[in-house]
Structure 1
C-alpha cells in the first residue's frame, strides 16, 4: 500500500498531465498488482499469487501490468490491465492496430471449458487466493478490444475471450462472474454492442460505452461501460480466483481488460439493474425497496444517488439496510462492516412512463334493439381508440370492475364475444407498455340506433342449375356507401354472430350457402364501433336448362329439303320462354323453340326465362353429301389384285364390295380381289346415302374342260364384255407356235378345236392385245 502511494507521488510530475492512459510493466510484481493495487483492503486477507502467465517479449515488456489514467477521460484513475498483446500497445491514443503475438504463447483450457469455446491462444493469466469477511466480493472492470469495429459486420462474429473464474480453494469447479449484468451471458464483443448496420441487431447495448476514435485515451477501437462482477462467498473461507484473457482462433486484433484500483472489494447485492433497454424499468409512480443487508450487523449504511450522499444510518440501526427508490438514478451503498471494512453495492434504476390511454365509447349494433348484444372487445377499432393508435401499447385484458383491472383480478373470460347484461354497461381495459407499466381505460358499451336496408340481390343460376351461384358484393358495397357516412367501413359476414364476434369476413365475390335463397349481413363501422348491422337477402333466379351443344349433318344431295333443329330446353314447357336464333353470329327472325334450316353453319339459340335469366347453346350444322366415284384403280401383282376406289365429296365415307349388306370398311382399298365383274358401294356415314359402280378385274383362266358338260367348256378371259376391255384381241397357239384361234372381247371363247377337230389335252399359249396397246402373254391347260 505504501509503495503504491509513493509511486503516485513521485510520478505525478509527468503522469498527471498526460491525456492518455500510460502503463508500467516493470515496477510492480504480480503479488503487488493484486494485493496492493487491485485489492488494497484490510478486509480481504491472505492474498497470495499462485500462478502468472503472459507473453514473452524478451524481458522488455509484458502482457499485464499497472495503468494510470489520471487526467484522462478514462473512467478509472488507475488499476491493473491484462492484454492479449504487448502492454505498451495499451497506451493511448488509438492510432494503430494492436495485433501482437509471442513465441510459445498458448491458450487456457479452463477458459475454453467454462465459455464452451475452443482454440484459445495468447492467454494472460493472474491467479490468486484470498479470504474475505463478507458474503460477497466484486470486481469493477472495463473490457476493450480492437475487434470492436464500427459499421463492420465482423463485430458480430469475432471476439476474444476473458473470464473472472472463482471457486473455493478446495474445489475444482469454477464459476465465471464476468457476465452481462443480470444474465448468464459472458461479456464479449459479440454480446455487448450496438446495432451494426447490415450486420446484426444490438445486444445488451446499455452496457456498451463507445467506439473509439483517434482521440481515445486507450489504443483500442471500442470498450464497454464500467461493469461489476459479483461473487457470492462464505465469509472467512479461502477462495481461488483466476483472471484470464485470451485471443480466440488467432492472435489478430488484441483485447484487454482494465480492473480498477481498489475495485476488488466486499460487496452487497442491490438486485438487478432496472433498465428501459431490457424492459425491466420501474413504472411511473412505482417505488422499489432496495436491501443492502450484510449479515452479522448492525452496520452503518450510507446511501448515494448519482454519487451524492443522501442518507446515512445511525449506529446500531437494525432496518437501515433498506432504502426506498422513487425516481431514476444510479443508487449505491457503502456498508461499514464492523467499523473497519466497507462493502459496496450499486444498481441502475430507470423509469418508464405509464401508458396514455383514452376512455372510449364502443358502439355495437343490435338488430332487435333491446340494448343487449355481443361485443368483440378485441376489435382493432376499439384497440386504436383506447391506445390512440400507439403500437407500443397492448390491451392485456378487460374487467367488469375498475378495481379488478387495477389488481388484475378476474378478467373477462371471453372478450371476443362479450354479451352485456345491462344497456350502456361499463367495462375496464388494462393497457400495458413494453415495460409492463399499465393504465386503466373506461369503455362504455353502447348501442347504435341506425337502421338501414337494401333491396335483395338477385343473380341468375349458373350452368349447373342447383340454386348455388356466385354473387359479386361490389355493387352492394357501392350502394351501401351512398347511404352511410364517409368515415365508415363495410364488411360482410355469413351470420349475425360472425359480424358481432369479428368472425371470418366474406370477400367481394362469394357463393351462397343455402340454395336459391340465403341471407348475409353487412357490418358498417367507424372509429366509434358499429354504425349499423343489417341483413341482405340473396336470391338465385331460375335459369333455363338446355341440352349441351351438338353437331348435326345436312345432306347437300337433298337440297332444298329442310331439317328441323331444336332449342333443346330440358324439364320445362318451352312456351314459358323467349327464343332468339342466331346464324353464324348474326340475328335472325326466328323466335320459336325450333328452327327449320337447309344450310350448313353455326346456329345459336338463346332461351330466356320471364325473370330475365337466359341460357344458350350452339347447334353446328355440318354439310355432308353422297360420294362421287372418280376412278377404280386396279393393281395386279404376284400377291393378288388390289382395288382402290377413288372418290370425291364433302362427306365421311365407308366402303363395301359386291354386297351392300356386308360390313362396311373405312379403307377405300380391297385386296385379293378375284378376276371378273364386281360392284363397289360407297356409303356416307352421316346418312346422306349410298352410291355404287360396276367394275371388272381382267383375268386369264389357267385351264378349261371342253367336255360339253356346260361348265368351263370354253376358254375366255374373265372381266371382259362389251363395256369392259372392249377392243381386246387374243391369239391362241400350240406349243410349236402354230396359231390355232383368234378371239375378240365379243367372242364366246375358244372351244378347244381346230377346224372342228378337238385338240389334245396339253398346254397352249396366248397373246392378248388390249385396246390401249398393252400385251399380255401366258399359257393355260386343256383337259378332257
Structure 2
C-alpha cells in the first residue's frame, strides 16, 4: 500500500521548485493510506480501517486534508498527515497570505461540539478509522496551527477554531477527546495555549506554545503550538474507533490546521505521570522511585534508557531510580516495540536547624505558654514555601500523626521540654528539627509612668507609649525590644501588641503588661502602672468688657482656679505675648485676648482665655419723633461700642430703640450700657391736640391745651381761627391754653381751627370743638 513512486516524484518536485517550506500533496494518498501507512506505519497495530472521510468540496481542484512533507524546513515534523479548515494548498509556506477558505455546503460536526461543549461549527474536516492494539496505551504527536494566533492582538484571547482526537470503544457511543493540554482535560485551542497579549490577557499554558510565525515561516499560519502528544489508554486486542476532526467555529474566517507526525502513532507502555517541580509532583531528595513497565507475556524483553543512554544490565520489568532525568523503556513483544517515557525531577529536602525557644517564667517553675511558631524562623535554614507542624515525639513527626493542636498557645509540661518541628515543602518532602522549650526568670520592678489628663479632666487620657518605653529602657538591658499588652497571655504569645497611642480603660490608674525581649528571646514579662494626674480645674473661657470711657482706670482679671488647694504657678499672655505676670489676679486697661496658664504641683497645666471687649456709655446721635398721629413713636439713635438697652419713664428696659403707640406728652427716655459703662437720660415730647374742650367753669377741660409742649419746643406758635378764618388767639409755649373767649367775650359752641408752627419749620393743622 506504499506509493513509493508517487512520493519520490513529489519530493523531487518539492526540492526543485519550492525551497525551504512545508509542501503538501492532495493526490498521492488515499485516506486509508494516510492513516495506515503515513500516520501509523506499523504492523503492530492491526485491523486498521478508515470508515468515513469528510472535507471541503473545491470542485476537484483541491481538498482540505492530505500528506505533508517538511522539505528540510524548520518545521519540527519531517512528514505526516494534515487536516485543515481550508484548502490544503493554503497550508504551504511562506506565511504571506491569509488562509481564509470556504466551500459549498461544508458543515460542522456534532460529535466535536458535544465533546468540547461548543456550538456552531462549520467547515469540518474529518477522518474516522478503526484499529486494534496489542498494548494498553497508544500515543501520537501533533502540532496545532492557526491564523487566529495573532501576536499582540486581543482576538487571540477570544476566538479559536476547534479540533479533537476523539476515541471510543467500537461498541460504545461516548467519545473521549485526547487532544488536551498535558496533565489536564482542557482542549487544545488558540485561547487555551498562547503567550501573553499585553493589555488583553495573560499567558496560558505557555510552556506548550510553539511560536508566533513571521512571513518566513514554513507554514502559512500565524502561530502554532509546540509538539504535543495525544495519549489514549485502551484494552488489548479490542477494536477502537478514532475520529480526527477539525472545524471552524462561528464562521469560515481565519483557518486552522492540525499536523500529525508520520509514524508517531505508536504502542506505549505507561510509566506513570511525570514527576515535575512545575506541577508539584517532584520526588524528594534521597527518595528511590520504582518505574514499572510490566506487559503480559513471558517472552517480552525490556531495555531501559536514561536521557537517551541505555542502562546496560537493566532488562527487567522495573527500574529503581534515585536521580533526575528522562527515563525511557522499550518493550519488545514478539517484534512489536512498545515505548514508554517519564521525566523524573527531584527537589531538595528542607534544611532545618535545631533551636531553643525561650519564654519568660513568672514563678520560676520552668513552665510557661509558648507560641511554637516563634521558633519557625530559627528552624528554617533557607527561604522558601514551607508548612511547619509540631509534635511531641520524633516518631509522631516522621509519621505526621498526633500533631500538637494548640501550637500558638502550647503549655510545656516539664522544664526544658523538647518538641519536634516537621517542616514540609510543597512536594511533601520534609525534615524534622528539635525545639527545646526554655524559660527565664528576671524579676523587674518598674516605676509608674505618670502623665497629665487631657482637657476633660476625667481620669482618661492618651498615653504615648514611646515615652513609656523610653522610661522603661533605663531599667532593662541595652537594645532590648519593649512591647505592651493587655494581658500576660497576649504577651507570652505575642498576640495583639498595643500600638504607640493608648487610652487607659480604668480611670486614673491602670496596670499594663510589658514584655522585654533581648537577643530575640523573652527577657521578662512584668507590669507598669499608668497614672493619670489631674490638671488644674479652671472656669470656662469667658468674655468681659472694659469701659473705654473710664480709661485709664483698670479692671481685675482672675485666673479662675476652681475649689482647689495647693500651690499654683501662673503665666499671663496678652495677644500671644508674655506679660511677665505671675499672680492669680492682674489689673488691665487694654482691649484684647488674655491667656493664663495655670500649673499645679504635678506640673500639669490648664489654660484659660479671657477676651476683653470694648464698651462705653451711649452717645445720642438723633431722636426721631412721630407725633400728632394715630400711632405716635419715639426712636433713639445712638453710637458707641456698648450693648445698649432703652427704658421710658423709668420703666422696664428693652433692647429695641423704638417706642410706639405713645400718647401725646413729655417722656423721660433712658439709654443704658448693659456692660455697666454708663447711662444717659433725655426728655422727649410728643405733640398732641385735644378734639374738644368745655369751658363751663367746672375745672374739667375748661381750657384747650395742646399736649407735649416743653423746652424742646422753643418759639412754638399756635394760631386759633373760627370757621370763617378769623384769627381769635395766638398761643406760645409758655401760655396755659385758650379759654374760649375773644376780647373777653365768650364764643359760642362751634368747631374752631388751629395752625401750629414749630421752630424747625414743621407745621400741624386741625380743628377741635368748643362745647358749652
Question: CA 1:332/1:211 → structure 2, altered by over 3 Å: closer, same or farther?
Answer: farther
Tell me which moved more, 17-26 or 696-705.
17-26
Q: Deviations over 1:416-455 (max 9, x none)?
A: 2233334443333222333333233333444467787765
Could you tell me which residue of structure 2 aligns to residue 777 of structure 1?
Answer: 765
| Partners of 1:181 and 1:273 within 8 A in 2 | no
1:387 and 1:637 map into 2 onto residues whose CA distance is 108
Could you tell me which residue of structure 2 aligns to residue 3 of structure 1?
Answer: 2
Could you tell me which residue of structure 2 aligns to residue 418 of structure 1?
Answer: 410
**1:166 is aligned to 2:167:** yes
The structure 2 residue matched to 1:635, chosen from 626, 629, 642, is 626
Q: Deviations over 1:78-103 (max 9, x none)?
A: 321112333334345x5435432123
The alpha carbon displacement at 1:531 in A equals 5.6
The alpha carbon displacement at 1:687 in A equals 4.6
| Partners of 1:641 and 1:672 within 8 A in 2 | yes
The alpha carbon displacement at 1:656 in A equals 2.8
Question: CA 1:597/1:100 → structure 2, altered by over 3 Å: closer, same or farther?
Answer: closer
2:52 and 2:530 map into 1 onto residues whose CA distance is 90
| Partners of 1:208 and 1:224 within 8 A in 2 | yes
1:6 and 1:281 map into 2 onto residues whose CA distance is 50
| Partners of 2:95 and 2:213 within 8 A in 1 | no
Question: CA 1:497/1:144 → structure 2, altered by over 3 Å: closer, same or farther?
Answer: same
The structure 2 residue matched to 1:695, chosen from 656, 675, 684, is 684
| Partners of 1:387 and 1:393 within 8 A in 2 | no
The structure 2 residue matched to 1:376, chosen from 353, 371, 376, is 371
Aligned 1:506-585 pairs, distance under 5 A? 506-523=498-515, 525=517, 528-530=520-522, 535-554=527-546, 565-573=557-565, 575-585=566-576
**1:759 is aligned to 2:747:** yes
The alpha carbon displacement at 1:194 in A equals 4.3
The alpha carbon displacement at 1:401 in A equals 2.7
Could you tell me which residue of structure 2 aligns to residue 720 of structure 1?
Answer: 709
Q: Unaligned regions of 5+ residues in structure 2, if any?
A: none
Q: 3-state SS of the aligned residue for 1:3?
A: coil
The alpha carbon displacement at 1:633 in A equals 0.9
1:62 and 1:527 map into 2 onto residues whose CA distance is 80
2:184 and 2:126 map into 1 onto residues whose CA distance is 25
Could you tell me which residue of structure 2 aligns to residue 401 of structure 1?
Answer: 393
The alpha carbon displacement at 1:257 in A equals 1.6
The alpha carbon displacement at 1:779 in A equals 1.7
Q: 3-state SS of the aligned residue for 2:2?
A: helix
The alpha carbon displacement at 1:689 in A equals 5.6
The alpha carbon displacement at 1:727 in A equals 1.2
The alpha carbon displacement at 1:471 in A equals 1.9
The alpha carbon displacement at 1:696 in A equals 0.5
Could you tell me which residue of structure 2 aligns to residue 241 of structure 1?
Answer: 242
2:580 and 2:738 map into 1 onto residues whose CA distance is 74
Could you tell me which residue of structure 1 aligns to residue 342 of structure 2?
Answer: 347
Aligned 1:649-660 pairs, distance under 5 A? 649-660=640-651
The alpha carbon displacement at 1:673 in A equals 2.2
The alpha carbon displacement at 1:747 in A equals 1.5
Aligned 1:129-140 pairs, distance under 5 A? 129-140=130-141
The alpha carbon displacement at 1:556 in A equals 5.7
Aligned-CA RMSD value: 3.6
2:359 and 2:97 map into 1 onto residues whose CA distance is 69
Tell me which moved more, 762-771 or 253-262.
253-262
The structure 2 residue matched to 1:385, chosen from 365, 378, 386, is 378
1:666 and 1:396 map into 2 onto residues whose CA distance is 83
| Partners of 2:446 and 2:475 within 8 A in 1 | no
| Partners of 1:97 and 1:146 within 8 A in 2 | no
| Partners of 2:390 and 2:419 within 8 A in 1 | yes
Question: CA 1:599/1:672 → structure 2, altered by over 3 Å: closer, same or farther?
Answer: same
Could you tell me which residue of structure 1 aligns to residue 96 of structure 2?
Answer: 96
1:329 and 1:760 map into 2 onto residues whose CA distance is 151
Q: Deviations over 1:545-599 (max 9, x none)?
A: 22221223455677787765543333532x4433444444455576554456666
Question: CA 1:638/1:117 → structure 2, altered by over 3 Å: closer, same or farther?
Answer: farther
Question: CA 1:395/1:612 → structure 2, altered by over 3 Å: closer, same or farther?
Answer: same
| Partners of 1:56 and 1:103 within 8 A in 2 | yes
| Partners of 1:683 and 1:691 within 8 A in 2 | yes
Question: CA 1:773/1:211 → structure 2, altered by over 3 Å: closer, same or farther?
Answer: closer
**1:740 is aligned to 2:735:** no
The structure 2 residue matched to 1:647, chosen from 638, 641, 654, is 638
The alpha carbon displacement at 1:198 in A equals 4.9
Could you tell me which residue of structure 2 aligns to residue 672 of structure 1?
Answer: 661
Question: CA 1:9/1:450 → structure 2, altered by over 3 Å: closer, same or farther?
Answer: farther
2:191 and 2:288 map into 1 onto residues whose CA distance is 34
2:465 and 2:132 map into 1 onto residues whose CA distance is 83
The alpha carbon displacement at 1:135 in A equals 4.6
| Partners of 1:192 and 1:205 within 8 A in 2 | yes
Could you tell me which residue of structure 2 aligns to residue 465 of structure 1?
Answer: 457
The alpha carbon displacement at 1:668 in A equals 0.8
1:77 and 1:311 map into 2 onto residues whose CA distance is 31
**1:124 is aligned to 2:116:** no
Could you tell me which residue of structure 1 aligns to residue 79 of structure 2?
Answer: 78
Q: 3-state SS of the aligned residue for 2:700?
A: coil
Question: CA 1:259/1:584 → structure 2, altered by over 3 Å: closer, same or farther?
Answer: closer
The alpha carbon displacement at 1:683 in A equals 3.3
1:483 and 1:195 map into 2 onto residues whose CA distance is 60
Q: Deviations over 1:324-363 (max 9, x none)?
A: 33333333444455x3655444333222222333443444
Could you tell me which residue of structure 1 aligns to residue 263 of structure 2?
Answer: 262
| Partners of 2:302 and 2:331 within 8 A in 1 | yes
Question: CA 1:633/1:323 → structure 2, altered by over 3 Å: closer, same or farther?
Answer: same
2:302 and 2:349 map into 1 onto residues whose CA distance is 32
The alpha carbon displacement at 1:252 in A equals 4.8
2:364 and 2:15 map into 1 onto residues whose CA distance is 85
| Partners of 2:718 and 2:755 within 8 A in 1 | yes
Question: CA 1:689/1:298 → structure 2, altered by over 3 Å: closer, same or farther?
Answer: farther
Question: CA 1:478/1:214 → structure 2, altered by over 3 Å: closer, same or farther?
Answer: farther
Tell me which moved more, 501-510 or 301-310.
301-310
Could you tell me which residue of structure 2 aligns to residue 110 of structure 1?
Answer: 111
1:580 and 1:25 map into 2 onto residues whose CA distance is 109
The alpha carbon displacement at 1:703 in A equals 2.0
Could you tell me which residue of structure 1 aligns to residue 189 of structure 2?
Answer: 188
Could you tell me which residue of structure 2 aligns to residue 317 of structure 1?
Answer: none
Tell me which moved more, 125-134 or 609-618.
125-134
| Partners of 1:166 and 1:174 within 8 A in 2 | yes
Q: 3-state SS of the aligned residue for 2:343?
A: strand
The structure 2 residue matched to 1:619, chosen from 603, 610, 635, is 610
| Partners of 1:22 and 1:69 within 8 A in 2 | yes
| Partners of 2:99 and 2:221 within 8 A in 1 | no
The alpha carbon displacement at 1:139 in A equals 3.2
1:387 and 1:201 map into 2 onto residues whose CA distance is 34
The alpha carbon displacement at 1:27 in A equals 0.8
2:518 and 2:223 map into 1 onto residues whose CA distance is 53
The alpha carbon displacement at 1:212 in A equals 5.0
Tell me which moved more, 524-533 or 107-116.
524-533
1:4 and 1:354 map into 2 onto residues whose CA distance is 57
**1:686 is aligned to 2:678:** no
